[in-house]
């Protein structure tokens, strides 16, 4: 992602709320998140979050850390970290073959009659060569990767967040102009392919209000990228903007793209963004806290769901003493949990 406060690391229920139309301040969603391979049926933590329509990974890094700390006698820390482990979080499939992680997530979700939240994050020239650089090495490989991604979902229920930061990096100029047409074409094709799966909702990422401050600057690239065929757009992935700021921005942007709905990431926005220079605020900012827990009961006509897309505790990158982007950082996770937004 870039530097604007971003970071990287039950369909029935969804339909009931109308989930049908709907990283980074400088950028947004750095860091590949922990995968879900070997995470089978939902048990334990998942059973403690019946209020959510979304799947809880019983083998997340947070869940494993809780078990370790309990064994070590760090019971207070373990209890605090349950504020993360017992909530549903998105799965970011890793590597050239996304199928194992996706199948583990959608199968686990199906067994608990919930919906998996997945992130497709492999666009060519990803993150402008910054902490989460990488992505598919060619357009053809990306098409193959998306086809595998979609195929692995099959007829299961899933929400897909499509390519955090990809559109915002077009707008802010971080992605070179010669790649813009390729990118919007690939995103459009990805939406078309994912929507061939019968129970998939697709939200094309649109950055965050602290990054692209004028929402209408996103309108043209979102349109070119096929937002009309998506269920909507996602906001604040891996970022720290407040709930009300995101909602206002989402309503404004929706008005420029045909009334599309949106989802928002509240995983780490409980204390809002770090004050000061935006160039320094997106990467592992201190003193942040967990935000509003995931839910599909939003009370907002255009807001389909509040999600934890960034997995709290996964590093934004090697800044402020953190590990590589997407790596689990238990001390940072514990800080987020202790600073969690009051219910």
Q: How do beta strands 158-162 and 261-265 pair?
A: unpaired
Q: Quick one: tokens of 167?
A: 């559109």
The angle subtended at Cα 214 by Cα 182 and Cα 308, nearest 5°, is 75
What phi, psi does 39 have (nearest 5°)? -90, 100
Q: Quick one: which H or E segment has residue 117? A: strand 116-120
196, exposed or middle or buried, with CB in 10 Å at 0-12, 13-18, 19+?
A: exposed
205, exposed or middle or buried, with CB in 10 Å at 0-12, 13-18, 19+?
Answer: buried
Q: By the 8 A CB rule, do 307 and 266 touch?
A: yes
Known catalytic residues are: 127, 165, 316
**Residue 134 tokens, joined:** 């990488």
Q: Which contacts qualify for 71-78: CB closer than 8 Å, 24 or more apart?
A: 77/334
Instruction: Find all residues with CB under 8 Å of 342, minimum gap 6, and list them.
Output: none
d(CA 91, CA 161): 10
Report the 10 Å Cβ neighbour count for 251.
Answer: 16
Nearest to 9 by CA among 83, 101, 119, 117: 119
CA-based nearest residue to 294, from 75, 30, 150, 116: 116
**CA–CA gap between residue 305 and residue 293 (Å, rounded):** 10
């Amino acid at each position: 992602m870039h530097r604007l406060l971003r970071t990287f690391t039950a369909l029935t229920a969804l339909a009931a709320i109308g989930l049908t139309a709907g990283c980074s301040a400088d950028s947004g969603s750095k860091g590949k998140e922990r995968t879900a391979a070997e995470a089978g049926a939902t048990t334990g933590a998942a059973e403690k979050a019946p209020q959510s329509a979304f799947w809880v990974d019983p083998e997340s890094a947070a869940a494993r850390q809780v078990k370790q700390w309990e064994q070590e006698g760090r019971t207070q820390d373990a209890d605090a970290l349950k504020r993360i482990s017992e909530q549903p979080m998105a799965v970011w499939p890793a590597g050239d073959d996304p199928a194992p992680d996706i199948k583990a997530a959608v199968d686990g979700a199906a067994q608990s009659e919930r919906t998996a939240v997945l992130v497709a994050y492999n666009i060519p020239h990803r993150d402008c060569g910054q902490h989460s650089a990488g992505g598919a090495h060619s357009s053809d490989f990306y098409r193959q990767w998306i086809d595998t991604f979609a195929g692995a979902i099959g007829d299961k229920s899933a929400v897909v967040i499509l390519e955090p930061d990809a559109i915002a990096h077009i707008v802010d100029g971080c992605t070179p102009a010669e790649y813009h047409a390729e990118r919007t074409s690939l995103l459009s094709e990805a939406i078309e392919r994912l929507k061939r799966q019968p129970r998939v909702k697709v939200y094309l990422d649109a950055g965050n209000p602290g990054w692209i401050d004028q929402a209408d600057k996103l309108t043209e690239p979102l349109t070119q990228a096929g937002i009309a065929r998506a269920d909507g757009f996602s906001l604040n992935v891996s970022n720290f903007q407040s709930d009300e700021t995101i909602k206002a921005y989402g309503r404004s942007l929706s008005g420029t793209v045909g009334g599309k709905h949106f989802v928002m990431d509240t995983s780490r926005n409980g204390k809002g963004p770090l004050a000061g220079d935006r160039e320094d605020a997106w990467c592992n900012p201190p003193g942040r806290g967990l935000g509003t827990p995931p839910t599909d009961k939003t009370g907002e006509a255009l807001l389909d769901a509040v999600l934890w897309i960034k997995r709290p505790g996964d590093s934004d990158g090697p800044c402020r003493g953190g590990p590589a982007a997407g790596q689990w950082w238990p001390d940072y996770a514990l800080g987020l949990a202790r600073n969690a937004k009051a219910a």
